[in-house]
Structure 1
Amino acid sequence: MSAYGGRNAVITGGSSGIGFATARLLVDAGARVVITGRSRAALDAARQRLGENATAVRSDVSSLPDLDALAARARDALGTVDALFVNAGVTRAMPFESTTEEMYDESFAINVKGAFFTVQKLAPLLSTGAGVVLTTSVANVKGIAQTSVSSAGKAALCSMARSLSSELLPRGIRVNAISPGPVDTGTLENTMTEEDAEQFKAARVAENPMRRFGTPEEIARAMAFLAFDAT
């Protein structure tokens, strides 16, 4: 049997970046996965690349009705869930002085509220011994300029992981958080001007001991380890 044959996983934010790399790793190793995202086109492209063991569900984690629908689809497609990857999130450069209430609310609605209710809505499907992995960021401790809102949300996820670990422990469910450093997912180019993105990336590379960005595939291996193997 393949490494993850017979295993089922749900990955929010699974149509690109770390989420897609995790989905591909698991599918290639025999698992069945449900991936989510907000872009139908991106989901369709990801589903085609992943093959028949993947189900793509358009879902906004900040919407509780969408999360209810996701739980229903996951139940129909998978039955039970062995791994839940709470990966959907947004990271936008927000200078302190120009951050609006709308920008703040959107960030916390997706990164914090969305994560909490993703776990709540999917928890009834989690099997005994299942693993939950929340994607946070090294920014939650680094104090990086222009990331005060998103970094605060990511720090909240670290605290949430600790509390949910206690809440779900009686069911044998493990909860972990992974805090990647800079990873080249293409997200920066979608949220900044090309010049700002290059400057931001250069600064992160300069302060990184390895002098490079990580790859989604590297983080995916760590995600899979925490979800299935780290007991």
Structure 2
Amino acid sequence: MTDNISDVTGFHDRVVLITGGTSGMGLATARLLLEAGAHIVITGRDDARLDRAAEQLDEVSDHGARLFTVRADSAGLFDAANPDPASHDAIRSQVPLGRLGRARDIAVDGGLVTAVPAS
């Protein structure tokens, strides 16, 4: 567990979508929020990097029970002018949203945290 866990509250059982969660700040954010009890969805374009990220987060994600990896180009997820339906469909088809209950909570894109609107 990180020393900063006391600074992260209110994420237990929340669902967080982290684009670019396979490395760097995205991966670190995924780890921190998993430690706080969140369910995490990370997106990436490369299966090998997604697999490596899942391996690195295995223990802190209850051996994958709270981590979902989705191969998708997230460029269009937050672009209101040019949305990418294929990326949205990839997430919907690969993440068991019904099992998670509150399926749309928070999204992290390049360090920007926003609420995800219900559809």
Calculate the TM-score normalised by the size of structure 2.
Answer: 0.64
Residue in structure 2 matched with residue 57 of structure 1 by the alignment: 70
2:109 to 74, 86, 94: 86
Letter in 1 for 2:109: V
Letter in 1 for 2:104: V
Higher relative CO (Cα under 8 Å, sequence separation at least 6) belongs to 2
Judged with a 3 Å threshold, the aligned counterparts in structure 2 of structure 1 residues 42 and 76 are, in CA distance, closer, same or farther, namely farther
Q: Does the residue aligned with 1:6 lie in a helix, a strand or coil? A: coil
Judged with a 3 Å threshold, the aligned counterparts in structure 2 of structure 1 residues 16 and 64 are, in CA distance, closer, same or farther, namely same
Residue in structure 1 matched with residue 79 of structure 2 by the alignment: none
> Post-superposition shift, 1:44?
0.5
Letter in 1 for 2:35: D
Residue in structure 2 matched with residue 12 of structure 1 by the alignment: 19
Distance in 1 separating the partners of 2:47 and 2:72: 9
1:170-185 maps to which residues of 2 (within 5 A)? none
4+ residue stretches of structure 1 with deviation over 6 A?
none
Q: How many residues align?
A: 93
For the 8 Å contact 2:104–2:118, the answer to whether it is kept is no
Judged with a 3 Å threshold, the aligned counterparts in structure 2 of structure 1 residues 32 and 23 are, in CA distance, closer, same or farther, namely same
1:15-94 maps to which residues of 2 (within 5 A)? 15-51=22-58, 52=64, 53-62=66-75, 63-74=84-95, 75-76=97-98, 78-79=100-101, 80-87=103-110
For the 8 Å contact 1:55–1:77, the answer to whether it is kept is no
Structure 1, unpaired ranges of 5+: 89-118, 126-231
For the 8 Å contact 1:38–1:59, the answer to whether it is kept is yes
Which whole-Å deviations, capped at 9, do the CAs of 1:76-97 have from their partners, x for residues lacking one? 5634222111239xxxxxxxxx
> Post-superposition shift, 1:21?
0.9
Residue in structure 2 matched with residue 173 of structure 1 by the alignment: none
Identical-residue share of aligned pairs (%): 38
Distance in 1 separating the partners of 2:38 and 2:67: 9
**Larger helix proportion, structure 1 or 2?**
1
Q: Does the residue aligned with 2:12 lie in a helix, a strand or coil? A: coil
**Structure ID, larger Rg:** 1
1:150-169 maps to which residues of 2 (within 5 A)? none
Distance in 1 separating the partners of 2:106 and 2:98: 16
Distance in 2 separating the partners of 1:64 and 1:44: 24
**Larger strand proportion, structure 1 or 2?**
2
RMSD over aligned CA atoms reads: 2.7
2:118 to 121, 124, 127: 124
For the 8 Å contact 1:9–1:84, the answer to whether it is kept is yes
Judged with a 3 Å threshold, the aligned counterparts in structure 2 of structure 1 residues 27 and 81 are, in CA distance, closer, same or farther, namely same
